[in-house]
Copies of this chain bind each other. A is one copy, B any other.
Amino acid sequence: MEENSSQLAEAIASPQTMEAGEEERDPETTSLQQPLLKRNRTLSSNPLALVGAKVSHIESLDYEINENDLFKHDWRSRSKVQVLQYIFLKWTLAFLVGLLTGLIATLINLAVENIAGYKLLAVVQFIENERYLTGLAYFTGANLILTAFAAVLCVCFAPTAAGPGIPEIKAYLNGIDTPNMFGATTLIVKIFGSIGAVAAGLDLGKEGPLVHIGSCIASLLGQGGPDNYRLKWRWLRYFNNDRDRRDIITCGASSGVCAAFRAPVGGVLFALEEVATWWRSALLWRTFFSTAVVVVVLRAFIEICNSGKCGLFGRGGLIMFDVSDVTVSYHAIDIIPVIIIGILGGVLGSLYNYLLHKVLRLYNLINQKGRMHKLLLSLTLSLFTSVCLFCLPFLAKCQPCDLSTTEACPTNGRSGNFKQFNCPKGYYNDLATLLLTTNDDAVRNIFSSNTPKELQPASLLIFFALYCVLGLFTFGIAVPSGLFLPIILMGSAYGRLLGVVMGSYTNIDQGLYAVLGAASLMAGSMRMTVSLCVIFLELTNNLLLLPITMIVLLIAKTVGDSFNPSIYEIILHLKGLPFLDANPEPWMRNLTVGELADAKSPVVTLCGVEKVSRIVDVLKNTTYNGFPVVDEDVVSPVGQATVATELHGLILRAHLVQVLKKKWFLQERRRTEEWEVREKFTWVELAEREGKIEEVAVTRDEMEMYVDLHPLTNTTPYTVVESMSVAKAMVLFRQVGLRHLLIVPKYQAAGVSPVVGILTRQNLRAYNILTAFPHLAGSNCREKRN
């Protein structure tokens, strides 16, 4: 992973990666015109990352309440009615997020089931008439068209809609704003792209995209509509800040998980464990409310569809894996295969992470070559997948139907456990059952219980090998793709295979082995634990399964953790998103924030009443987003006539730009009255993330004027003393959700600046610190508190 930053640098240097329609500061120019930064910058604060498939400028979010004079006035003047409005709206939005996520999930399910269903029925028709080549052509053609539809949408309209979106949501909730990630175009492309990609039979799921869709809906609702057509509704004005947006996006992400797995509690815990960095018990409840609404919507549609009003979409689809009919019975001896599955899951999961990382780096190079390359890559994958799915079943031997089962055998319809394919009457092709069907049905088939003889080891082996290849090479293509389903398919295959191999030595049903295999690979790759456990609990509806699921997950996670980080962390790192971990590295205890600040360029401070020309200068020549405001007094409190400097607070770049835009200038150097600033600015305006210094025109006369920064300054920034260890500063940074952390000196003397440095998210990343202080690496054993 060390090559990652150099690769990013490459990406930045090559201009063809900067695609059209991208509204962002050119990194080349900002990094060259930095005369204020005369020192060699050893501690990196690279504000660039891969968002979707392109390099974008990222910014940190302001979760901290900006306590300036305007905010304080606004706070004091809020009436009870406004507070009630705010609470009412908060709950209404949580309700709407759940409702819309549920409806869209249903829509996607209906569309996928019907499109894939009609496609497969036609293919079966051709096979029945033994027109195999025509069948192959039809199957491949249909899949190519569907893939092309999804890929063109993604490539042309919303590159950020490609992939699962979960890493970016994780980053957002950790405090990193990624541009164009939660827009209306992304949402629409994600919905239709997902339908196309899943219906095309590619080895990808709709689960990850559903989480992204839920988050997009939440973000759009929270800001009152798409970027250019936003409702300027008075009620929404209190939502125009990063804190409330974070809360509603958390609701959206949980709703998405809930819609994917029909698991309300699992959805909440997924958001709690995997996605959200910051959590409050009140948010827990609102999130749960959203997921409950999703479940009600899904239930209602299942009721409607059960009466046959949804086309081919019959019993399948929404109830993903209904394994509640598995009879669980196990003895003490069965702990051995359970442990084996766990270890296998950990080893294979970390191997998968490793290989997927390599493939993604390769794909990154291909994707950089332009749109056509992206498109061609997707189509090649689709072609390969289609041919494999259609041709491999010919390798399997026909199996005689077991006449004792109540299920129809052989079947030619869309679903059913025993597909006839090329077999004579009374026989079925077990590999066709797994391959020539939708992915959801494949999972259902492989999870099916009380069918010990149904699937042959050879077929399972082919299935496993195929999906290992597909799982590695499908994920990175430019269509909306989830990771859950490929991993479930792989995991269930080796799980069931183990069950077949164990044969009579075990009491556990083969379907249950498949479930455990899927769980183990998910834990081995994604390293989720509680949420995964609860999701499987809600899917299987069986408390007795809980202990063995837990053992499998625990072992798989432990084994996997000893090799490499989780797949999400790998992707976050690959994309260059500055995600802050929950636990500080052990060597961070041996480094103080003062030393860290020394490795950075010196801090740029502003005076309480500052000249316009200096502000313009500072804004143009630095990339910082926050500046400490320092006042100088001549009389110090003890009466000596020394100069005392005072830290007034921190002002944000966005607010300075607004001052310049609104030309709130003073003729002389004086402090303003409170009413003066309130005439010009409202607190709500200040919460907007708009305006760039390049757009501001200041005349030469105005350059000589002054600005009183006091009323716009956040007077209560969080600070640490320079002797604080980086480990503790990082805990503070993450726990309180900061954007800037000021460093104050630990000694008291005249003439010393009251701020010795300023730390941001990038400065606290282990990777960046290690680049600046290479001797720290390997100086200690691993963090003992996990």
**A589, B67: Cβ atoms under 8 Å?**
yes
A749 in the interface (beta carbon within 8 A): yes
Interface string of A715-732 (1 = CB under 8 A from B): 111111101110010011
- Chain A binding site: helix, strand, loop or mixed by DSSP? mixed
A744 in the interface (beta carbon within 8 A): yes
CB proximity to B under 8 Å, residues A531-548? 533-534, 537, 541, 543-544, 546-547
- Once A547-B292, A718-B720, A719-B719 are accepted as A-B contacts, the answer to whether A747 and B76 lie under 8 Å apart by CB is no
* Distance from A713 Cβ to chain B, minimum over Cβ atoms (Å): 11
A529 in the interface (beta carbon within 8 A): yes
Bound together, the chains give a CA A736 to CA B584 distance in angstroms of 14
* Distance from A273 Cβ to chain B, minimum over Cβ atoms (Å): 5
Contacts of A749 in B (CB 8 A): 636-638, 640, 642-645, 748-750
Bound together, the chains give a CA A537 to CA B263 distance in angstroms of 12
- Give the residue of B544, B633, B638, B781 whose beta carbon is less than 8 angstroms from that of A751: B638
**A543, B299: Cβ atoms under 8 Å?**
yes
CB proximity to B under 8 Å, residues A293-319? 293, 295-296, 299
- Give the residue of B529, B725, B735 whose beta carbon is less than 8 angstroms from that of A67: B725
Contacts of A269 in B (CB 8 A): 284
* Distance from A748 Cβ to chain B, minimum over Cβ atoms (Å): 5
Closest to A274 in B: B281
Bound together, the chains give a CA A264 to CA B543 distance in angstroms of 9
- Give the residue of B72, B721, B723 whose beta carbon is less than 8 angstroms from that of A590: B72
Bound together, the chains give a CA A719 to CA B86 distance in angstroms of 33
Closest to A278 in B: B735
A351 in the interface (beta carbon within 8 A): no
Contacts of A752 in B (CB 8 A): 636-638, 748
**B750, A754: Cβ atoms under 8 Å?**
no
Closest to A742 in B: B721
* Distance from A628 Cβ to chain B, minimum over Cβ atoms (Å): 11
Bound together, the chains give a CA A65 to CA B784 distance in angstroms of 13
A619 in the interface (beta carbon within 8 A): no
- Give the residue of B529, B646, B751 whose beta carbon is less than 8 angstroms from that of A285: B529
- Give the residue of B636, B649, B747, B753 whose beta carbon is less than 8 angstroms from that of A723: B649
Bound together, the chains give a CA A586 to CA B83 distance in angstroms of 12
A556 in the interface (beta carbon within 8 A): no
Contacts of A721 in B (CB 8 A): 647, 716-717, 719, 744
**A748, B750: Cβ atoms under 8 Å?**
yes
Contacts of A289 in B (CB 8 A): 550, 554
Closest to A747 in B: B646
**A636, B750: Cβ atoms under 8 Å?**
yes
**A530, B288: Cβ atoms under 8 Å?**
yes
A268 in the interface (beta carbon within 8 A): yes
Contacts of A643 in B (CB 8 A): 749
Closest to A737 in B: B735
Interface string of A101-126 (1 = CB under 8 A from B): 00000000000000000000000000
Interface string of A682-709 (1 = CB under 8 A from B): 0000000000000000000000000000
Closest to A79 in B: B781
Bound together, the chains give a CA A86 to CA B752 distance in angstroms of 45
- Give the residue of B296, B546, B716 whose beta carbon is less than 8 angstroms from that of A264: B546
Contacts of A530 in B (CB 8 A): 268, 281, 284-285, 288
A279 in the interface (beta carbon within 8 A): yes
A667 in the interface (beta carbon within 8 A): no
- Once A748-B745, A781-B79 are accepted as A-B contacts, the answer to whether A284 and B272 lie under 8 Å apart by CB is yes
In addition to A715-B723, A721-B744, 10 A-B residue pairs with Cβ atoms within 8 Å of each other are: A72-B590, A636-B750, A637-B749, A640-B749, A646-B747, A647-B723, A716-B728, A735-B735, A747-B754, A748-B751
| Nearest 10 interchain pairs by C-beta | A636-B749, A644-B749, A646-B747, A735-B735, A750-B750, A285-B529, A83-B784, A748-B754, A638-B751, A716-B724
